Amino acid sequence: MTTITNVVLQLGDQPYEVTVATGDCGKGGRRLPGDCNLDGSVNVADPLCLLGFLFLGDHDPVSCGDAAGSGEALLDWSGDGRLSVTDAVIALRYLFLGGPPHALGTECIPTAGCPAACGG
């Protein structure tokens, strides 16, 4: 939800009225890259969730948007624009072998067209 508020700022003798928008501002909800099961954390359940989606027809974690930072990009650990078993392997290497983190980082990011699934 976006809230629009008019605020008057006094700079010296001059008042300035500005409009401030707070909330999601249309960017979508915030999600954690790699959090396939949308529980707000990344652990072994997430690469298993991705494999389930890819090979078993489990729930669809990617259909909430297709722009950068959206559902599919959030599971694309390699950042090559495709979802494959490689992304699950990269996730497991990150979790257990000190491999590189998700291509989009390790912090919650706005996701176009997706509901929120992490803080903020």
> Over the Cα atoms of the chain, what is R_g?
18
- Does 47 interact with Ca ion (rule: CB under 5 A)? no
Q: Which is nearer to Ca ion, 45 or 112 (CB)?
A: 45
Report in angstroms how near the CB of residue 77 gets to Ca ion at its nearest: 13
Please say whether the beta carbons of 66 and 83 come within 8 A. no
- Does 39 interact with Ca ion (rule: CB under 5 A)? yes
Instruction: From 7-15, 20-28, 29-37, 101-109, give the range in contact with Ca ion by CB under 5 A.
Output: 29-37
Report in angstroms how near the CB of residue 42 gets to Ca ion at its nearest: 5
Instruction: Give the pairing type, strands 30-31 and 109-110.
Output: antiparallel
| Binding footprint of Ca ion, residue count (CB under 5 A) | 4
**Which of residues 30, 35, 51, 87 is near Ca ion by CB under 5 A?**
35
Considering only CA atoms, which of 91, 112, 111, 113 is closest in space to residue 31? 111
Report in angstroms how near the CB of residue 119 gets to Ca ion at its nearest: 13
- Report the alpha-carbon distance of residue 9 to residue 96 in Å, rounded: 51
* Cβ-based burial of 119 (10 A; exposed 0-12, middle 13-18, buried ≥19): exposed
- Does 46 interact with Ca ion (rule: CB under 5 A)? yes
Binding footprint of Ca ion on the chain (CB under 5 A): 35, 37, 39, 46
